[in-house]
């Protein structure tokens, strides 16, 4: 980092440091979850006192731009990822794209199984019927943020097993192969502790609080096409909505 401090300027030195640190983040020089240089390194490279660096960093921590982890250093704080409930049925990949968030999807499991009583009931198919079972991890900036389990009625989407779901959208593929629109869902969210499998895959502690989505998705012909469970890291996701108050009745 080249010194850019103007000590003859009316702007306080620590505020100039704030501007420099913020520019390093907005320009992409420092990315989400990156560890920034130490206070001593910043003070040396900028030619200012360590006190000015400490005050600038503290201001950015209070603003939610940086976070300090004891014994490790100061990091660019990852942005919270929203999942808007008021925008209709939307997949997580579609939501991330709309927020301008780049992500990587990794397939852990993709196989055809025979429906037990529970899956047969969820997908409204006979017990023993084939369905596609898939488990995926979705990562942002190299950090795994969600574990996705999809169970799909493959009778309604011919050749779905040949699709590469590390690269294509599930909802868009379902619509293309079925000839029907994904219309609505029955969705619930729960607070849940990370089990051993999800903790290991998402690199969190066993029992760490997570947000779980359970969803049955229906086509426009009212046939259930997918039963899904998604585990979301609660330190990265929040679910939001905009609600309008109903008109009050007359007294």
Q: Specify the pLDDT at position 137.
A: 93
Q: Specify the pLDDT at position 241.
A: 46
Q: Specify the pLDDT at position 60.
A: 86
* Beta carbons within 10 angstroms of residue 8's beta carbon: 5
Confidence of residue 237 (pLDDT cuts 50, 70, 90): low
* Domains identified in the chain and CATH numbers: 13-76 (1.10.10.10), 81-240 (3.40.1410.10)
**Spatial separation of the C-alpha atoms in residues 77 and 22, rounded to whole Å:** 12
Tell me the mean pLDDT in the region 40-68: 89
Structure token pair of residue 186: 């029955």
Whether residue 227 is predicted with pLDDT greater than 50 in this model: the reply is yes
DSSP state of 1: -
pTM: 0.64
Report helix, strand or coil for 154. Answer: helix
Dihedral angle of Cα 162, 163, 165, 168, to the nearest 10 degrees: 180
What are the residues facing 232 on neighbouring strands? 146, 211
- Over the Cα atoms of the chain, what is R_g? 24
Among 123, 119, 109, 117, CA closest to 197 = 109
Q: Specify the pLDDT at position 107.
A: 95
Q: What is the DSSP string of 46-98?
A: HT--HHHHHHHHHHHHHTTSEEEETTTEEEEPPPPEEEEGGG-S--HHHHHHH
pLDDT digits 0-9 by tens, 209-222: 888 889 999 999 99
**Spatial separation of the C-alpha atoms in residues 119 and 117, rounded to whole Å:** 6
Q: What is the DSSP string of 163-185?
A: S-TTTS-HHHHHHHHHSS-EEEE
Q: Specify the pLDDT at position 242.
A: 42
Among 177, 133, 135, CA closest to 159 = 177
Whether residue 14 is predicted with pLDDT greater than 60 in this model: the reply is yes
CB 193, CB 204: distance < 8 Å? no
The chain-wide mean pLDDT, for the chain, equals 84
pLDDT digits 0-9 by tens, 197-212: 999 999 888 888 888 8
Report long-range pairs for 161-164 (Cβ below 8 Å, ≥24 apart): 161/110, 161/112, 161/132
Q: Specify the pLDDT at position 244.
A: 47
Confidence of residue 53 (pLDDT cuts 50, 70, 90): very high
Q: What are phi and psi of 42, to 5 degrees?
A: -65, -40
pLDDT digits 0-9 by tens, 85-127: 544 555 666 666 766 667 889 999 999 999 999 999 999 999 9
Structure token pair of residue 239: 């679910």
pLDDT digits 0-9 by tens, 165-177: 998 889 999 999 9
């Amino acid at each position: 980092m080249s010194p850019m401090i103007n000590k003859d300027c009316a702007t306080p030195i620590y505020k100039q440091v704030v501007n420099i640190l913020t520019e390093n983040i907005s320009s992409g020089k420092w990315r989400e979850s990156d560890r920034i240089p130490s206070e001593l390194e910043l003070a040396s490279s900028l030619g200012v006192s360590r006190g000015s660096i400490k005050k600038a960093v503290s201001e950015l921590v209070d603003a939610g731009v940086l976070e300090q982890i004891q014994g490790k250093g100061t990091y660019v704080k990852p942005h919270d990822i929203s999942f808007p409930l008021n925008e209709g049925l939307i997949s997580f990949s579609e939501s991330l794209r709309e927020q301008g968030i780049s992500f990587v999807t990794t397939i852990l499991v993709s196989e055809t199984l025979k429906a037990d009583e529970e899956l047969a009931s969820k997908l409204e198919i006979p017990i023993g019927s084939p369905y596609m079972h898939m488990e995926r991890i979705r990562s942002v900036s190299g950090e795994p943020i969600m574990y996705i389990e999809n169970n799909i009625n493959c009778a309604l989407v011919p050749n779905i097993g040949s699709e590469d779901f590390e690269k294509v959208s599930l909802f868009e593929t379902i619509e293309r192969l079925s000839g029907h629109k994904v219309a609505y869902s029955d969705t619930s969210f729960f607070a849940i502790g990370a089990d051993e499998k999800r903790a290991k895959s998402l690199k969190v502690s066993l029992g760490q609080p997570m947000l779980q989505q359970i969803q049955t998705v229906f086509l426009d012909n009212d046939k259930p096409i997918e039963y899904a469970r998604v585990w979301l890291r609660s330190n990265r996701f929040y679910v939001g909505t905009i609600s309008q108050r109903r008109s009050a009745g007359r007294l």
